[in-house]
Amino acid sequence: MWVSVAIETDAAHAETMSDALLAAGALSVSVEDALAGTELETPQFGEPGSPTTPLWERSRVVALFEPAEDLRKRIVTALKESGLDVPAEIAFEEVAEQDWVRLTQSQFEPIKISERLWIVPSWHVAPDPTAINLVLDPGLAFGTGSHPTTRLCLEWLEETIVPGVSVLDYGCGSGILAIAAKKLGAGETAGVDIDPAALSAAADNAKRNDVTIRLLPSTAPIEERFDRVVANILTNPLMLLAPVLAARLAPGGRLALSGVLESQAEQVIAAYAPYLPLRVGATHEGWVRLEGIK
């Protein structure tokens, strides 16, 4: 049995609090966005045109401890010694001893996108060997295929990819969309991400699927234009990236954006209006896919 301890704080104090919890005997500490899953969710790293944010303004620091009767007292003492105010609420939760690898893997089952397209975690056998199977190891990067926005993008790729078209996957994460594009018949395909861990996971997944994808950090210049551009990230970066993504789209090319809540669709459409018209192409569980043709 373990004990998970969660405390909310601001960006200025998250690192100090993490160090204090480690000093109190924490086995591990992580920092999360306290507003994750809401309209105020923000990326940890800036995109082109936006400042880099080292941590979230409203952060949740989560630490794992061995059980102990004096645990709260140790934590309070460590916070005070670090010059931090003791918050009114410190959440304690018991965590059962488990096989974490097996538990994590059990959360990812094969996902049927369509009759011919499946996502299959690398530790599973493909339910339909005759289908186009995207064999995926999520690694440390977002993009398992289970999120509604990923499904929306995969469905768009299946509808719009024709043999030989070039594809840019901006914010590629695990590489799932770029890999899907290649296996659906795309020609030159590039994936861009700001996170080195994402690019590493995407490279491993591309090799696992026997496809070739050009992977680039977001700081690398891209001069060519693409027939298809897809970006599955968050609303604020998508709006800031409007001139960048529009410039990478070839005349007559198609653009798809996701990571946008239904309530945010109009503001994203407005941000892209100077470059190309967008419309809501599909919705799923409160999320939308915006589409446009240059």
HEC assignment per residue over the chain:
CEEEEEEEEEHHHHHHHHHHHHHCCCCEEEEEECCCCCCCCCCCCCCCCCCCCCCCCEEEEEEEECCCCCHHHHHHHHHHHCCCCCCCCCEEEEECCCCHHHHHHHCCCCEECCCCEEEEECCCCCCCCCCEEEEECCCCCCCCCCCHHHHHHHHHHHHHCCCCCCEEEECCCCCHHHHHHHHCCCCCEEEEECCHHHHHHHHHHHHHCCCCCEEEECCCCCCCCEEEEEEECCHHHHHHCHHHHHHCEEEEEEEEEEEEEHHHHHHHHHHHCCCCCCEEEEEECCEEEEEEEC
Q: Is residue 214 part of a domain?
A: yes
pLDDT in tens, 162-216: 999 999 999 998 899 999 999 999 999 999 999 888 899 899 999 999 999 999 9
Q: Could you tell me if 135 and 207 lie in one domain? A: yes
Contact predicate 113/158, CB 8 Å: yes
Domain final position from 97, 120, 144: 97
Residue 114 tokens, joined: 């369509």
Residue ranges, the chain, pLDDT below 70: 37-55, 97-108, 138-146
Q: Is residue 172 part of a domain?
A: yes
Q: Could you tell me if 89 and 182 lie in one domain? A: no
Q: Could you tell me if 123 and 250 lie in one domain? A: yes
Q: Could you tell me if 134 and 64 lie in one domain? A: no
Q: Could you tell me if 128 and 254 lie in one domain? A: yes
Q: Could you tell me if 230 and 114 lie in one domain? A: yes
CATH of the domain at 50: 3.30.70
Q: Could you tell me if 123 and 10 lie in one domain? A: no
Domain final position from 97, 128, 152: 97
Question: Could you list the residue range(s) of the whole structural domain that residue 39 is in?
Answer: 2-97
Sorted by sequence, the CB contacts under 8 Å of residue 226 that are 6+ apart come out as 166, 167, 168, 188, 190, 248, 249, 250, 253
Q: How many residues does the chain have?
A: 294
- pLDDT, position 55: 62
What Rg, from alpha-carbon coordinates, does the chain have?
21
Q: Is residue 104 part of a domain?
A: no
Q: Could you tell me if 205 and 183 lie in one domain? A: yes
Q: Could you tell me if 35 and 66 lie in one domain? A: yes
Q: Could you tell me if 13 and 151 lie in one domain? A: no
Sorted by sequence, the CB contacts under 8 Å of residue 78 that are 6+ apart come out as 20, 21, 23, 24
Q: Could you tell me if 136 and 9 lie in one domain? A: no
How many structural domains does the chain have? Answer: 2
Q: Is residue 103 part of a domain?
A: no
Q: Is residue 244 part of a domain?
A: yes
Domain final position from 36, 66, 97: 97
CATH of the domain at 233: 3.40.50.150
Q: Could you tell me if 179 and 234 lie in one domain? A: yes
Nearest to 140, CA basis, from 271, 242, 30:
30
Q: Is residue 102 part of a domain?
A: no
